Every structure is written in C-alpha cells, then in structure tokens.
C-alpha cells in the first residue's frame, strides 16, 4: 500500500513525508546537487519502484531503515495450505456511500481520495476509509504467483491503527466472453491524470460496482479473506498495519491495464518503468489467517 499518514491532501509537508526524508535531509540533498556537501551525496531525494535502479525497492533501506530491517513487512506470498483456518466467520461490514470520483496522480500511485464519510467495521471497531489506490503487478502473491493489479483500500481507526483491505485484479481480453466488464476501473484509468500532483474530478463513484463482496442494500460485506499483520508497502514501510486480502478476484480489461502502466512509466524518475509494486517480504514468525470459503 502507499499511504502517508496523515496526509489526506497534497501539501508540502506531505511531499516531504512521501519522499521518506526529513526537511533537513531534503535541504541537504538540495545542497548536494550544488556540490556543497559531498558527504551527503548518497542520500536519495526520491525513491521509485524500479528494481534495478539506485532508489528502487531493494535499496529503500537508505530512505527508511524499517524497509530493510523490519520483521513484519508487506507484501507477502500467501500460501493457502500454510494459513491458519478460522472456525468462526468474521465478516467485515463495508459502509462506502457513493461519492464524487476524484482521481489523483501522486507520482507513485494512482489514488482516489475518499472525502465522503465511509468506514469498514472490523471486529466491532469502525475504521474510516481514507483513500484507495492501485499497484501493478499485484503486491501480494498467491502461491508464489502475482496477479496483474492490486487495489488497496486504506482505513484508519480513531486510535490511529491502519487497516488495508486489498483486492487482486486479473487482466482479461474484452473479446473473451469470460471477461467481465469493469466500468468503474475503466473510468478511473481512462481519466487518471498523466502528471504528478494533478487531480481530475469526474462523475459519481460507487465502489460496490467493482468490489467482489456480498452486497447488502447500499453496503457490502467482505467474508472471504486472508489476514495478517504487516506494513506500508512503500517508504517509510511503517509496521503495525492490519492486512485483509480478499480471496475473490476482480477482472479488468487489458486495455485499461495498459493505460495504467503507461501512466506509471511517466511518473517522475520512473523513466518508462511501468510497474509500481514491491516484491514479497519474509513472513518470519507471522501467522496468516484464513476466513470464509476458498
């Protein structure tokens, strides 16, 4: 996931947090560019997802030590045969009213901020929905395999605890009769701004038109999922994030996927690298729990 608590809107402070550097470090980076402080030359001013690049996922430890040293990092490879089954159901009730669709290009993800009051009820605690965004390929693997895309719905409880509900998305050929049209995702990617910091406002959005959850009137219920304790999947890779990955998968047309990847390739510093996912991190001593049917 990509979420910089508590930056709901783009501000200078948020940009600093998003770079993973303090104000002093960024100023040092600025001096470095002018050759005034060679010692600081190694401090990257930005990070990206290019695996071969100097500021890519395998080097995020330079940006935030937690990315390298954390023991509860996300994403992970979910292996169903090694998960712990739950005897009782634990449905997550989703209350996401319709809202005006705003699509934002953050320079690392395409994000839809959620300004209407919306929440997920998890084990009796309400978690407010802050935004949702997309990664391609998927971040979580299933039995070692990646899907084409992953959506992250980022929530926060009054205590500050973060919970992310993730959904795998599979690309499909529109000519294939099993390819279900996904008008909401088509609309989001067709209208996603091509430049960092830009925001486009469009027609009304109803997330239940594309989420693979059981509908209940105006709401929905996530019943089939895996859960574990993890982290943000982008710097600063902070831990203590509750993860819930839906077992039911969304489909999207390959054309929309292609459009999304071309936008990523145009993110600052991505230089046509058309992916924004982090690879699986060690599970260590964590347990992955399985709820609902498979």
Contact residues: Zn ion, CB under 5 A:
1-2, 152
Which residue's CB comes closest to Zn ion? 1
Q: Report residue 173 CA to chain centroid gap.
A: 24
Query: Which token pair is 266?
Result: 């145009």
CB of 112 to Zn ion, least distance (A): 12
**Cα–Cα nearest to 76, from 228, 248, 275:** 228
Nearer to Zn ion, 149 or 172 (CB): 149
- To the nearest whole angstrom, how small is the minimum distance from the Cβ of residue 139 to Zn ion? 7
Q: Give the span between the Cα atoms of 202 and 186, in whole angstroms.
A: 13
| Closer by beta carbon to Zn ion, 28 or else 109 | 109
Judged by beta carbon, residue 37 or residue 280, the one nearer Zn ion is 280
Nearer to Zn ion, 1 or 141 (CB): 1
> With 0-12 CB in 10 A as exposed, 13-18 as middle and 19+ as buried, what is 97?
middle
Structure tokens at 273: 């690298």
Q: How far is the CB of 277 from Zn ion (least distance, A)?
A: 9
Q: How far apart are CB 233 and Zn ion at their closest, in Å?
A: 5
Match 């071309």 to its residue by tokens.
262
**Among candidate residues 284, 263, 288, 293, the one with its CA nearest the CA of residue 275:** 263
CB of 178 to Zn ion, least distance (A): 28
User: HSE of 99 in the Cβ direction (CA atoms, 13 Å)?
Assistant: 20
Cis peptide before 75 (omega within 30 of 0): yes
Nearer to Zn ion, 119 or 132 (CB): 132
């Amino acid at each position: 996931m990509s979420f910089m608590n508590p930056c709901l809107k783009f501000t200078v402070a948020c940009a600093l947090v998003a770079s993973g550097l303090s104000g002093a470090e960024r100023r040092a980076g600025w001096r470095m560019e002018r050759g005034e402080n060679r010692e600081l030359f190694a401090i990257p001013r930005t990070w990206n997802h290019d695996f071969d690049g100097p500021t890519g996922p395998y080097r995020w430890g330079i940006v935030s030590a937690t990315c390298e040293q954390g023991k509860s990092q996300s994403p992970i490879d979910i292996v169903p045969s090694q998960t712990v089954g739950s005897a009782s159901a634990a449905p997550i009730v989703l209350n996401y009213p319709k809202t005006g669709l705003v699509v934002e290009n953050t320079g690392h993800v395409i994000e839809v901020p959620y300004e209407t009051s919306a929440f997920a009820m998890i084990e009796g605690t309400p978690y407010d929905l802050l935004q949702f965004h997309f990664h391609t390929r998927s971040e979580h693997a299933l039995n070692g395999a990646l899907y084409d895309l992953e959506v992250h719905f980022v929530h926060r409880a009054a205590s500050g605890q973060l919970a992310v509900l993730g959904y795998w998305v599979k690309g499909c050929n529109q000519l294939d009769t099993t390819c279900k049209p996904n008008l909401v995702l088509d609309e989001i990617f067709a209208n996603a701004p091509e430049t960092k910091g830009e925001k486009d406002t469009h027609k009304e959005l109803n997330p239940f038109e594309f989420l693979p959850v059981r509908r209940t009137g105006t709401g929905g219920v996530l019943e089939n999922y895996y859960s574990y304790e993890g982290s943000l999947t982008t710097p600063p890779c902070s831990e203590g994030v509750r993860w819930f990955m839906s077992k039911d998968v969304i489909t999207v047309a390959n054309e929309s996927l292609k459009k999304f990847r071309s936008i990523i390739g145009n993110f600052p510093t991505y230089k046509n690298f058309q992916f924004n996912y982090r690879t699986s991190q060690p599970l260590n001593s964590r347990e992955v729990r399985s709820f609902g049917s498979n």
